[in-house]
Amino acid sequence: MLEHSGVQAGCLSRPSIGLGPTPLADPVDAMAGPKSASAVLLDALRPLGAVRTLRRRQDLFTEGEPAADWYWLGSGAVQVCAVAEGGRRHIAELVLPGDFFGLEDCDARGASAEATRNAVLLAFPRARAEALVDTDAALSRAFRQVACGRLHEAQARLLRLGCLTALGRVASFLMEMAERRQRHHAETIEIPVTRDGIADYLGLNPETVSRALTELRRRGAIALPARQSIALANRSVLIDARGTGR
Amino acid sequence: MLEHSGVQAGCLSRPSIGLGPTPLADPVDAMAGPKSASAVLLDALRPLGAVRTLRRRQDLFTEGEPAADWYWLGSGAVQVCAVAEGGRRHIAELVLPGDFFGLEDCDARGASAEATRNAVLLAFPRARAEALVDTDAALSRAFRQVACGRLHEAQARLLRLGCLTALGRVASFLMEMAERRQRHHAETIEIPVTRDGIADYLGLNPETVSRALTELRRRGAIALPARQSIALANRSVLIDARGTGR
DNA sequence: CGTGCCTTTGAAGCCTATCAACGGTCGTGG
DNA sequence: CCACGACCGTTGATAGGCTTCAAAGGCACG
């Protein structure tokens, strides 16, 4: 199984342009310490995984269709988004390298998934993956931890959407991104989506996001060296901005 | 309501009794069709469950403390709420009879739980419950379905918080409550929280909630016969109000 | 029966959405 | 390699919705 992955790794390394140094190994698990639930799950599922590559703006699945696979993102970026009545778009999840996603356990997808960067991922047939997970207590536990972690994240986002002002949401978003990519010691983080994407993720509109970023730069919290990279200059100012209640 | 709670308590105190449609049964699963995941999980965990009764405003657990138990609510109502920086409160979850809650799989609770009505519930020691779930494939699957369902609900709420105006959120909230208590054929639904609670659940403030309810009544969508009961008079008007984009 | 708490309604101010325009950047095609 | 075009980001002005502050009535509970 590892050989299989190794063979694929050669293929994987080519199309990946942006995020993620090595598409094969879970970047999160490259850290020291006991194996994380995510690593346990990945190691077990890997033999079932089929490698898929997506180009930017390519769809992976769409809302309403049956959930045939679970996914794990190796490199690039994927956004999972739904459309509300009224045509307004909402990004339910921003998937970064090392994340599982599409872990649904019902007939129809609740949202669509689209690559926002050229991406390489593993697709696990859901029926086989579920059967495997259900037969192994350690795996079952690992999956539960991953799923409960997702629930925690969603509820944390709910709290931020409900309680924070625009500036606070943007500051919070930057800290979330920095934390999720903490393994890269650099203080400059790559944002895998456009301002529109950030807006749809935070329940704002692009202009407001832009204004908030400008304000954070004015306060000295961040710098904007390139279009889609943001440098965290003064974290305490950022934390302070996040505290902005509504 | 009080009688109902009393009955539930009496039956719950002898959990070893019986299969079949007793008051012990999950009210949701009293409906026809194959056994739901929630029912499977409840039947399996029931032997581990300890009955607990809470009075209104009594705390069940608080943010930060270790997650020692999983819970299932038999009657009454519970709110799971967190506090953001700035002191603003947010209700992460409104627990209705038949719901599991507190299904965390990490060291510390992410939020506090408090009864908003006199409540009767089952507490399952987490360590034993996890061990049981992990050793049985069917149970593992049932738990996964429950957890994934929770994730779906959270993402649906995220979409509404991000995309709907105040009127839309309140209309959406009423429909959610009506749907979750659909087994009661009556069109009058009991709201187990005050206007403050609705506000904290929807990311609004109580005055705005009150205004939205008044507006919905003006439009003929609902009636407000009592303080905490709302009658759905014209569902299409409600759906229309929910469509209010932002 | 009194006392809080909950709910409702009003008025004013702030924040965010919307509409609009401009400059810059990236990707594409010549 | 260069030039073009489309997309993205920023900034400004305006309007609208929500929050905040304030006060009064009503219901429930002790």
Nearest to B90 among A87, A159, A243 (CB): A159
Structure tokens given for A108: 């129809």
| For B81, nearest residue in chain A (alpha carbons) | A159
Q: What is the mean pLDDT of residues B28-34?
A: 57
Q: What is the mean pLDDT of chain B?
A: 86
Shortest alpha-carbon distance between residue A12 and chain B (Å): 30
Predicted pLDDT at B107:
79
Nearest to A162 among B85, B151, B203 (CB): B203
Is residue A150's beta carbon less than 7 angstroms from any atom in nucleic acid strand D?
no
Closest by CA position to A81, among listed A113, A119, A117: A113
pLDDT-derived band at B243, boundaries 50, 70, 90: confident
Three-class SS state of B76: strand
- B97 — phi, psi (to 5°)? -55, 135
Nearest to A162 among B85, B149, B161 (CB): B161
Is residue A196's beta carbon less than 7 angstroms from any atom in nucleic acid strand C?
no
Is residue A103's beta carbon less than 7 angstroms from any atom in nucleic acid strand C?
no
A215/A221 Cα distance (integer angstroms): 9
**H helix or E strand, kind and range, residue A38:** helix A37-45
Which is more confident, A98 or B105?
A: A98
A207/A196 Cα distance (integer angstroms): 9
Interchain CB distance below 8 Å, B133 and A140 = yes
- Closest nucleotide to A194 by C1' from CA: D8
Predicted pLDDT at A181:
83
Which of B91, B103, B126, B151 best tests the A interface by mutation, with the highest count of A CBs <10 A?
B151
pLDDT-derived band at B72, boundaries 50, 70, 90: very high
A139/B131 Cα distance (integer angstroms): 12
Is residue B216's beta carbon less than 7 angstroms from any atom in nucleic acid strand D?
no
pLDDT tens-digit series, residues B162-216: 999 999 999 999 999 999 987 666 789 999 999 999 999 999 999 999 999 999 9
Closest by CA position to A172, among listed A183, A182, A157: A157
Predicted pLDDT at B28:
53
What are the average pLDDT values for consecutive 10-residue runs of chain A, which has 246 residues? 38 37 52 79 97 94 95 96 90 96 90 95 96 93 93 95 96 94 77 97 98 97 93 94 80
Mark residue A49 as left, alpha or beta (left: phi above 0; alpha: psi -120 to 50; beta: remaining): beta
Which of A79, A85, A107, A133 best tests the B interface by mutation, with the highest count of B CBs <10 A?
A85
Interchain CB distance below 8 Å, B244 and A86 = yes
Predicted pLDDT at A86:
80
Q: Is residue B245 a contact partner of residue B202, using CB atoms and an 8 Å limit?
A: no
pLDDT-derived band at B32, boundaries 50, 70, 90: low
pLDDT of residue B222 exceeding 60: yes
Q: Kindly list the residues from chain A whose CB atom is less than 8 angstroms away from the CB atom of residue B206.
A: none
Q: What is the mean pLDDT of residues B116-123?
A: 96
Interchain CB distance below 8 Å, A203 and B103 = no
pLDDT-derived band at B106, boundaries 50, 70, 90: confident
Calculate the alpha carbon distances from B174 to A162, B21, B29, B43, B230 in Å. 18, 29, 22, 30, 8
| For A154, nearest residue in chain B (alpha carbons) | B154
pLDDT of residue B56 exceeding 80: yes
Q: What is the mean pLDDT of residues B77-81?
A: 96
Q: Angle B144-B146-B149 (CA atoms, 0-180°, nearest 5)?
A: 105
- Closest nucleotide to A168 by C1' from CA: C15
Predicted pLDDT at A187:
82
Interchain CB distance below 8 Å, A86 and B161 = no
Instruction: For chain B, state the CA radius of gyration.
Output: 18
Using the structure, give the distance in angstroms from the CA atom of B84 to the C1' atom of C12, rounded to a whole number.
27
Structure tokens given for B120: 């009767």
DSSP string spanning A175-225? HHHHHHTTTS--SEEE--S-HHHHHHHHTS-HHHHHHHHHHHHHTTSEEEE
Using the structure, give the distance in angstroms from the CA atom of A18 to the C1' atom of D3, rounded to a whole number.
27
Q: Kindly list the residues from chain B whose CB atom is less than 8 angstroms away from the CB atom of residue A199.
A: none
B79/B61 Cα distance (integer angstroms): 11
Using the structure, give the distance in angstroms from the CA atom of B87 to the C1' atom of C11, rounded to a whole number.
26
Q: Kindly list the residues from chain B whose CB atom is less than 8 angstroms away from the CB atom of residue A129.
A: none
Is residue A226's beta carbon less than 7 angstroms from any atom in nucleic acid strand D?
no
Q: Which nucleotides in chain D have some atom under 7 angstroms from a protein Cβ?
A: 8-13, 17-22, 27-28
Secondary structure of chain B: what % helix, strand, coil (to 5)? 45, 25, 30
Q: Which nucleotides in chain C have some atom under 7 angstroms from a protein Cβ?
A: 6-11, 15-20, 25-26
